[in-house]
């Protein structure tokens, strides 16, 4: 069993708790034990918070990193927004003495010090990395293959961009999450502008909801055109934007897509035999039943 | 026999140059003169606006006799610029030219310390003091001349290499033209038309290819590569690897006594060959056999066996019959050549533009490179000149041209430089599709149109007038419509300030260029440096663009940096001209910076012999003793042996230990005795 | 250089306002600060448009990342910081991935937003996130519906974050107070709500 400090973020535990329980239970079957990171806060939101003052963003994220440093565990997380904050700040503070000194100045007030002793991973990276889990092991854990389903993958931005700072190469047309979806027995499909943003980031969802939803709507049009049964992502914020966003799109623009949105942990949970109720799929704004009917 | 005696009563003249304000602007020249006068052995010191000017040189010449100088020091620019000038002036004053020493107070001082006059002046004093210390101990040296082999070697037979070969051959010089491919012609023979004149590339090139072939002074060595290089200007010993091509020419057959045999290019062998491979000349878009020619106009017209894919079934040998031209057991051969001067013309290849994944090359069928497009639009190309979409063979109506595809790119993926000819050939491509496909529209996505050559801007005007659409924006990314295989090109029309999504049938990437694969090996064999962009480094970017830092080795064409055909040909003619100078002169002068053996001290241990990177040293028997001996023509004066010799028995002329120690002392002791 | 023309009709004054670019419009310090905060070679932009062409916000708004890059190079501080489009970047980093000059335009936008925030130009939604983090430790805090759902899934009602371990909250607040962020957020939000 590899142990990681599980950084929850906000939206998974507080809006889609099924992601949290799915992540813990499915990872365990893949040899990963996710330990609670006691006292963690918001990462804090890279767009909404970082826009105001990056210095404070560094300090707040560093506090979360120090909690894991004290546990002597690498961080694993399941949200691209958290990944941007926690991975980026860890990387920047490790490589920029001036930044680190500034942050430690502040952390001293709460008896903390950033030392730069741990690494940060997105769960999906751990699943894909053959040295940790690997696609084969994921495939082996499947008891209930998601056959006959067409699934569009939304990578989200901060997992793969900017590319040089991250672990898996190309950000123009990556295919590795597709491999992980294929390992569950589903058919990963390609659709137009796969790498386009969900529309929520940078504080835009709160700042101009119509603008934000229009970006989401374009994703929906493209997924619909490709005859997707569901879209999967690895970011609860993208999930929120796609899932609740479809309701908002209906309210604002009068168009309802009804496309089920599932975090990869939820898909993995289904494939490993967890029930929809155990995964809290009933908490999703868009009804997942049509998708579930295909696999059950 | 080495002479280690030095001047007993040196009298040094110091000449400080203002170089306008280049030096005087940040160094106190007058103060420097006064300082120089206080230095030991200085008999005379003065300053002048431009010491390199005729009156400036006269000051040196006059001072030598007037003040009975034994050596001169000029504090000015880099010796790379004016050392010859001041040596001549010193000689005209009646001294041995090697009694001159230069202090660089411009490049290494005033230019870098422009804003610190005080420190710059102090540094200049150090430089002058050190130069005086060395000049006091300089000896008379004689320039060495060595005879020159009247033969030239040209590496690479593209348009630049061919032009240089023709010029040298026509000047009566024996010229070896080595080409790694089975035919000469290079990149230019792959092009359909040339800008801005729209001449058919092959039509203007093939006569040159024939001329090269027919020229009695040019010895063509195709399918051959440089294997090893030894020696120096005038006397290079070059080994050429003649790769086994599996086919002998008619001349070779005759030499072997096969009457009327050898390859006559009949092509009987080709249809029977069962192996199919992509033809690199057609950018892989047309098949060739394991026994092949690139195209019908190859020179020499001689088939080649690709032994990497040949299965040695022998069908071709059978088809060839009595001509006995094919030898499937042929091995590589090595030929040794004696060469006076060398021209490198190794050319370029396209940057692997698939590395810029956002443009989808090798992901989307209808994204092609500019060289692939040249073949597609060429009447002798794989489609007979019908431009078609690779995905479905349909005629494209809307074609995008992505300029700066990998050029002007600082990401570390592409190339930081401008590839220089892509703007113009893309304009040409635009013209060609307008001409060949009725109703077709070219869209050129550009940042700047760099139409700098003669009649180039006029060509740009013409193509715009013909209806090409210019969108000023670098392409962000390209996506393929999976159903139609059409391409969506995204950018911003920066002049409108609007994002753009143009649906096109086909996209041509004007990919950046990079040095030819293998050019680096050639470069290192001849000891040529490369600039930070990876191209070969010329001796001086403005005043010696064909030369290199290796004497006797010159550059022509794109190997030195991106160039269009006119520029490549012009440089080739320049390189041929400079390369012919030592050949016509018949001898070269070598700077006498040789190592010399101080025989009284030499123990004959021979340890220096193996250290020498130039094989210039050997051990000889002399009067019953073993002594080291220097082959002066091979010695580059690098000092490796001199620094190592445990007995201090090696005297580096002009850089002798006492001279260098004097300089170091002068620096460290700050002028104290 | 007279910029105000002294027309009596303010509408006419605005319509015929001088639109020349003057050297005095430029604040070189602005570009320097952007470079410091963004830690990217923001001054090296050559205006190719790759950024705008990559931008998901550009086709549905007047937001042009290239224009902001230009304003940075030219030191047009006021124009950049007061443009409401500044807040339409979703920080997707597509421009950053593709910029041929290896600039991170996204980080330039973030730096501009930081400088706008110094002038108290911050959309209220950004500040509400700050307030939520100050009070609960989370930008999106737990609620009763979710607590019930968590329980149903076999999870603790409060996640094992600062929600459950409330003793960590003062530390978080201390960091935010160190920068006086909460007080500023309260002030700006209150003012905005007064106007609304």
- Nearest residue to B590 (alpha-carbon basis) of B630, B555, B530, B642: B630
Q: Least CB-CB distance to A14: which of C61, C110, C141?
A: C141
The CB density around residue B234, as the number of other CB atoms within 10 Å, is 25
CA–CA min distance C25, chain B (Å)? 22
Q: Do C102 and B472 touch (CB under 8 A)?
A: no
Per-residue pLDDT tens over the stretch B345-369: 999 999 999 999 999 999 999 999 9
pLDDT of residue A123: 97
pLDDT of residue B673: 53
Any domain includes B665: no
pLDDT of residue A164: 64
**Is B166 found in the same domain as B311?**
no
- pTM for the complete prediction? 0.90
Q: Percent of chain B beyond pLDDT 90?
A: 93
Q: Which two tokens stand for residue B105?
A: 């107070």
Per-residue pLDDT tens over the stretch C30-86: 999 999 999 999 999 999 999 999 999 999 999 999 999 999 999 999 999 999 999
The number of helices, as runs of H, and strands, as runs of E, in chain B is 17, 34
Any domain includes B669: no
Average pLDDT along chain B: 96
B222 contacts B182 by C-beta, under 8 angstroms:
yes
* pLDDT exceeds cutoff 80 at B85: yes
**Is B485 found in the same domain as B409?**
yes
- Taking the C-alpha atoms of residue B385 and residue B437, their distance in angstroms, rounded to an integer, is 11
- Roughly how many angstroms between the first and final C-alpha of chain B, as a whole number? 32
Phi and psi for A169 in degrees, rounded to 5? -25, -100
Per-residue pLDDT tens over the stretch B557-595: 999 999 999 999 999 999 999 999 999 999 998 889 999
**Is B390 found in the same domain as B339?**
no
Per-residue pLDDT tens over the stretch B609-636: 999 988 889 999 998 899 999 988 888 8
Domain that holds residue B643: 590-653
User: What sign does the CA torsion over C51, C55, C57, C62 have?
Assistant: positive
Q: Could you tell me which chain B residue has the CA closest to the CA of C64? A: B497
Q: Least CB-CB distance to C150: which of A17, A63, A196?
A: A17
**Is B248 found in the same domain as B235?**
no
pLDDT of residue B634: 81
Environment class of C179 (CB within 10 Å of its CB; exposed 0-12, middle 13-18, buried 19+): middle
Per-residue pLDDT tens over the stretch B299-336: 999 999 999 999 999 999 999 999 999 999 999 999 99
DSSP class per residue in C61-114: SS--HHHHHHHHHHT-HHHHHT-GGGGG-----HHHHH-TT---HHHHHHHHHH
Q: Do A172 and B477 touch (CB under 8 A)?
A: yes
- Taking the C-alpha atoms of residue A20 and residue A40, their distance in angstroms, rounded to an integer, is 14
C87 or B633: which leads in pLDDT: C87
Any domain includes B646: yes
3-state secondary structure of A120: strand
Interface of B with C in 427-466 (CB under 8 A): 447
Any domain includes B535: yes
Q: Which residues of A touch C61 (CB under 8 A)?
A: 211
Q: Which two tokens stand for residue B650?
A: 């090696």
Tell me the CATH number at B30. Answer: 3.40.50
Per-residue pLDDT tens over the stretch C116-144: 999 999 999 999 999 999 999 999 999 99
Q: Do C133 and A41 touch (CB under 8 A)?
A: yes
pLDDT of residue B632: 87
Q: Do A208 and C88 touch (CB under 8 A)?
A: yes
pLDDT of residue A84: 95
Question: Mean pLDDT, to the nearest integer, of B123-130?
Answer: 97
Per-residue three-class SS string for B170-187? HCCCEEEEECCCCCCCCH
Phi and psi for C97 in degrees, rounded to 5? -65, -30
The residues near B486 (Cβ < 8 Å, ≥ 6 apart) are: B366, B480, B503, B504, B505
Any domain includes B658: no
The residues near B327 (Cβ < 8 Å, ≥ 6 apart) are: B246, B247, B248
pLDDT of residue A166: 61
CA–CA min distance C19, chain A (Å)? 30
**Is B362 found in the same domain as B221?**
no
Task: Report DSSP state, residue A109.
Answer: G
Q: Point out the domain boundary residue: B514, B535, B564.
A: B514
**Is B573 found in the same domain as B624?**
no
C147 or B5: which leads in pLDDT: C147
Interface of A with C in 28-57 (CB under 8 A): 36-42, 44-56
Q: Point out the domain boundary residue: B467, B485, B514.
A: B514
DSSP class per residue in B115-157: T-HHHHHHHHHHHHHHHHHHHTT------EEEE--SEEEEE--
Q: Point out the domain boundary residue: B111, B126, B141.
A: B141
Q: Do C175 and A20 touch (CB under 8 A)?
A: no
pLDDT of residue B502: 98
Any domain includes B672: no
Interface of B with C in 490-509 (CB under 8 A): 490-494, 497, 499-501
Any domain includes B670: no
**CB contact, 8 Å: A222 with chain C?**
no
- Taking the C-alpha atoms of residue B372 and residue B190, their distance in angstroms, rounded to an integer, is 9
- Nearest residue to A59 (alpha-carbon basis) of A77, A70, A75, A43: A43
- Report the range of poorest mean pLDDT among B120-134, B426-440, B625-639: B625-639
H or E element, residue B626? strand B625-630
pLDDT of residue B329: 96
Half-sphere exposure of A261 (CA within 13 A, CB side): 28
Residue ranges of chain A whose pLDDT lies below 70? 164-167, 169
Any domain includes B102: yes
Question: Mean pLDDT, to the nearest integer, of C13-19?
Answer: 89
Boundaries of every domain in chain C: 17-118, 124-195
**Is B428 found in the same domain as B318?**
no
**Is B605 found in the same domain as B568?**
no
- Taking the C-alpha atoms of residue A173 and residue A189, their distance in angstroms, rounded to an integer, is 13
- ipTM comes to 0.95
Boundaries of every domain in chain A: 2-123, 143-295
Q: Could you tell me which chain A residue has the CA closest to the CA of C142? A: A14
- Report the range of poorest mean pLDDT among A254-263, B91-100, B633-642, C179-188: B633-642
**Is B177 found in the same domain as B321?**
no
pLDDT of residue B4: 86
3-state secondary structure of B630: strand
C167 contacts C161 by C-beta, under 8 angstroms:
no
Pairing type for strands B487-493 and A187-189 reads unpaired
- Taking the C-alpha atoms of residue B50 and residue B16, their distance in angstroms, rounded to an integer, is 9
Best to test chain A binding among C90, C180, C181 (most A CBs inside 10 Å): C90
Per-residue pLDDT tens over the stretch B593-613: 999 999 999 999 999 999 998
Per-residue pLDDT tens over the stretch B61-73: 999 999 999 999 9
| CATH architecture of the domain with range A143-295 | 3-Layer(aba) Sandwich (3.40)
pLDDT of residue B590: 85
CA–CA min distance C115, chain A (Å)? 8
Task: List the beta bridge partners of residue B152.
Answer: B175, B341
Q: Top-level CATH class of A2-123?
A: mainly alpha
Report the topology of domain C17-118. Fumarate Reductase Iron-sulfur Protein; Chain B, domain 2 (1.10.1060)
**Is B285 found in the same domain as B409?**
no
Per-residue pLDDT tens over the stretch B103-124: 999 999 999 999 999 999 999 9
The radius of gyration computed from the CA coordinates of chain C, to the nearest angstrom, equals 22
Question: Mean pLDDT, to the nearest integer, of B292-298?
Answer: 96
- Nearest residue to B562 (alpha-carbon basis) of B512, B611, B606, B607: B512
**Is B112 found in the same domain as B59?**
yes
- Nearest residue to C150 (alpha-carbon basis) of C162, C160, C136: C160
DSSP class per residue in A210-265: HHHHHHHHHHHHHHHHTT-SEEEES-HHHHHHHHHHHHHHHHHHS------EEEHH
pLDDT of residue B404: 98
B319 contacts B529 by C-beta, under 8 angstroms:
no
- Taking the C-alpha atoms of residue B387 and residue B372, their distance in angstroms, rounded to an integer, is 11
pLDDT of residue B370: 98
Pairing type for strands A150-154 and B441-446 reads unpaired
Can you tell me which residue has the tokens 């026994």? Answer: B291
């Amino acid at each position: 069993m590899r142990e990681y400090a599980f950084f929850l973020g906000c939206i998974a535990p507080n809006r889609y708790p099924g992601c949290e329980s799915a992540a813990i239970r499915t990872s365990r079957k893949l040899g990963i034990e996710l330990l609670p990171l006691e006292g963690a806060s918001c990462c804090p939101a890279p767009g909404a918070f970082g826009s105001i003052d990056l210095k404070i963003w560094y300090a707040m994220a560093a506090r979360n990193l120090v909690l894991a440093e004290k546990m002597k565990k690498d961080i694993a997380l399941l949200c691209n927004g958290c990944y941007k904050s926690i991975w980026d700040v860890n990387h920047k503070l490790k490589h920029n003495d001036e930044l680190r000194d500034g942050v430690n100045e502040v952390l001293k007030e709460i008896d903390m010090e950033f030392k730069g002793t741990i690494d940060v991973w997105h769960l999906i990276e751990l699943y894909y990395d053959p040295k940790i889990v690997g696609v084969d092991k994921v495939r082996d854990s499947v008891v209930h293959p998601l056959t006959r389903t067409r699934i569009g993958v939304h990578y989200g931005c901060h997992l793969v961009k900017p590319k040089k700072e991250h672990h898996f190469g190309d950000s123009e047309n990556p295919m590795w999450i597709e491999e992980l979806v294929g390992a569950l027995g589903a058919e990963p499909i390609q659709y137009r502008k796969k790498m386009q943003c969900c529309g929520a980031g940078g504080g835009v969802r709160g700042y101009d909801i119509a603008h934000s939803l229009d970006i989401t709507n374009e994703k929906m049009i493209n997924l619909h055109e490709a005859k997707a049964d569901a879209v999967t992502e690895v970011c609860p914020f993208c999930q929120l934007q796609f899932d609740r966003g479809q309701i908002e799109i209906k309210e604002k623009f009068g168009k309802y897509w009804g496309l089920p949105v599932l975090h990869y942990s939820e898909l993995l949970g289904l494939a490993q035999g967890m029930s929809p109720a155990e995964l809290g799929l009933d908490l999703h704004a868009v009804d997942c039943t049509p998708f579930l009917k295909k696999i059950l | 026999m080495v002479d280690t005696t030095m001047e007993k009563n040196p009298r040094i003249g110091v000449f400080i140059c203002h170089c306008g304000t280049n030096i005087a602007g940040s160094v106190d020249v007058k103060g420097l003169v006064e300082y120089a006068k206080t230095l030991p052995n200085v008999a005379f010191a003065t300053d002048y606006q431009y010491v390199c000017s005729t009156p400036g040189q006269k000051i040196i010449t006059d001072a030598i006799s007037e003040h009975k100088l034994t050596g001169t020091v000029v504090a000015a620019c880099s010796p790379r610029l004016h050392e010859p000038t001041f040596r001549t002036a010193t000689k005209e004053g009646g001294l041995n030219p090697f009694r001159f020493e230069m202090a660089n107070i411009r490049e290494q001082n005033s230019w870098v310390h422009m804003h610190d006059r005080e420190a710059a002046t102090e540094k200049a004093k150090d430089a002058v003091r050190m130069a005086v210390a060395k000049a006091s101990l300089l000896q008379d040296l004689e320039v060495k001349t060595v005879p020159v082999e009247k033969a030239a070697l040209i590496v690479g037979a593209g348009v630049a290499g061919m032009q240089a070969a023709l010029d040298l051959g026509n000047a009566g010089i024996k010229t070896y033209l080595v080409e790694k491919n089975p035919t000469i012609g290079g990149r230019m023979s792959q092009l359909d038309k040339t800008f801005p004149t729209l001449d058919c590339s092959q039509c203007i090139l093939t006569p040159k290819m024939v001329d090269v072939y027919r020229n009695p002074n040019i010895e063509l060595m195709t399918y051959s590569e440089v294997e090893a290089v030894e020696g120096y200007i005038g006397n290079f010993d070059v080994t050429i690897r003649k790769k086994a091509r599996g086919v002998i020419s008619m001349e070779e057959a005759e030499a072997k006594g096969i009457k009327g045999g050898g390859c006559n290019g009949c092509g009987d062998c080709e249809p029977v060959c069962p192996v199919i491979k992509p033809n690199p000349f057609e950018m892989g878009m047309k098949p060739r056999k394991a026994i092949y020619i690139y195209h019908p106009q190859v020179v020499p017209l001689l088939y080649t066996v690709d032994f990497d894919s040949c299965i040695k079934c022998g069908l071709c040998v059978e088809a060839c019959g009595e001509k006995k031209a094919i030898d499937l057991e042929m091995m590589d051969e090595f030929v040794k050549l004696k060469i006076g001067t060398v021209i490198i013309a190794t050319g370029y290849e396209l940057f692997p533009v698939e590395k810029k994944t956002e443009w989808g090359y090798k992901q989307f069928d209808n994204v092609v490179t500019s060289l692939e497009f040249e073949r597609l639009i060429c009447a002798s190309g794989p489609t007979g000149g019908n431009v078609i979409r690779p995905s479905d063979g349909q005629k494209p109506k809307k074609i995008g041209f992505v300029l700066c595809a990998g050029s002007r790119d600082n990401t570390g993926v592409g190339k930081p430089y401008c590839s220089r000819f892509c703007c113009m050939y893309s304009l040409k491509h635009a013209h060609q599709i307008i001409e060949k496909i009725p109703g077709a529209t070219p869209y050129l996505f550009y940042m700047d149109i760099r139409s700098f050559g003669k009649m180039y801007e006029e060509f740009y005007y013409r193509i715009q007038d013909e209806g090409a659409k210019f969108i000023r924006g670098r392409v962000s990314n390209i996506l393929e419509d999976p159903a139609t295989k059409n391409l969506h090109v995204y950018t911003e029309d920066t002049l409108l300030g609007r994002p753009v999504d143009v649906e096109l049938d086909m996209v041509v990437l004007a990919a950046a260029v990079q040095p030819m694969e293998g050019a680096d090996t050639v470069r290192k064999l001849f000891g040529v440096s490369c600039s930070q962009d990876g191209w070969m480094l010329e001796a001086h970017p403005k005043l010696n663009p064909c030369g290199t830092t290796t004497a006797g080795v010159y550059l022509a064409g794109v190997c030195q940096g991106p160039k269009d055909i006119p520029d490549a040909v012009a440089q080739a003619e320049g390189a041929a001209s400079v390369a012919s100078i030592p050949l016509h002169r018949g001898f070269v002068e070598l700077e006498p910076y040789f190592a010399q053996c101080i025989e009284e001290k030499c123990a004959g241990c021979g340890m220096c012999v193996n250290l020498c990177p130039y094989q210039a040293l050997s051990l000889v028997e002399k009067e019953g003793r073993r002594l080291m001996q220097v082959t002066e023509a091979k010695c580059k004066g690098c000092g490796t042996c001199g620094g190592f010799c445990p007995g201090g028995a090696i005297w580096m002329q002009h850089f002798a230990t006492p001279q260098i120690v004097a300089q170091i002392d002068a620096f460290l002791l700050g002028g104290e005795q | 250089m007279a910029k105000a023309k002294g027309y009596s009709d303010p509408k006419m004054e605005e319509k015929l306002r001088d639109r020349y670019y003057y050297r005095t419009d430029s604040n070189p310090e602005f570009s320097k600060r952007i470079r410091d905060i963004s830690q990217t070679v923001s001054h090296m932009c050559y205006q190719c448009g790759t950024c705008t062409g990559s931008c998901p916000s550009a086709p549905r708004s007047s937001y042009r990342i290239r224009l902001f890059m230009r304003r940075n190079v030219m030191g047009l501080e006021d124009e950049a910081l007061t443009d409401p489009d500044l807040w339409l970047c979703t920080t997707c980093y597509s421009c950053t991935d593709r910029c041929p000059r290896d600039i991170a335009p996204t980080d330039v936008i973030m730096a501009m937003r930081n400088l706008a925030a110094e002038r108290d130009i911050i959309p209220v939604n950004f500040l509400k996130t700050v307030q939520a983090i100050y009070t609960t430790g989370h930008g999106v805090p737990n609620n009763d519906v979710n607590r019930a759902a968590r329980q149903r899934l076999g999870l603790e009602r409060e996640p094992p974050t600062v929600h459950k371990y409330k003793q960590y909250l003062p530390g978080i607040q201390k960091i935010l107070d160190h920068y006086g962020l909460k007080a500023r957020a309260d002030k700006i939000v209150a003012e905005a709500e007064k106007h609304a």
